[in-house]
Amino acid sequence: MANSYIVIKNSSEGSGKKFKVIQGGYRPVLQKNSSSKATIGGIKDRVEGAVYEVFQFTIKTSYQLTAAETSANYGTKDDLKAYYLLNDPDASPSNLLTLTDFLGTSYTGWLDGDFVPDPISTIIDGECAYFFINILFEVKDAVS
């Protein structure tokens, strides 16, 4: 059975943090690395590379968790920001993260792109403050 959340954890965490993804905010993408050029003789030359998975999510998270959310191990806006701030591959925790999707499948990779919390209302702190945050998770290994 599918979960209603994804889990993100760093290399030092045991269980990681749960994050809710909004309806329509889940976009699995296959990125194909290839290039093509016209040669001097007028023929197209194409080079094929690996195909990688990228996951785009729109997360709904809060500034401060309720007691129920805390006991269920949900993450806040600041938890997600802390994952974004990991940028050293040799540190502990490193910048390499594990994402577990709705079906329980785990992927190793990185968060990429911009961290832009978008407030849902005029309340920006406390338990009633919620944000939409678009994230981009790039899977480390190529699709086989």
Residue 113, pLDDT score: 93
Phi, psi of 7 (to 5 degrees): -125, 135
Residue 4, pLDDT score: 87
- Give 97: exposed, middle or buried? Use CB within 10 Å, 0-12, 13-18, 19+: buried
Interacting residues of 7 by C-beta distance below 8 A, sequence separation 6+: 15, 16, 17, 18, 19, 98, 99, 100
Enumerate the domain spans of the chain. Answer: 5-142
CA gap 18, 69 in Å, rounded: 9
CA gap 27, 29 in Å, rounded: 6
Residue 1, pLDDT score: 66
Q: Is pLDDT at 100 greater than 90 in this prediction?
A: yes
Residue 106, pLDDT score: 95
What average pLDDT does the segment 82-105 reach? Answer: 93
DSSP state of 80: H
Structure tokens at 13: 């965490």
Residue 77, pLDDT score: 94
Instruction: Tell me the whole-structure pTM to 2 decimals.
Output: 0.85
Considering the segment(s) 5-142 as one domain, its CATH architecture is Beta Barrel (2.40)
DSSP state of 143: P
CA gap 50, 27 in Å, rounded: 20
Percent of the chain with pLDDT over 70: 99
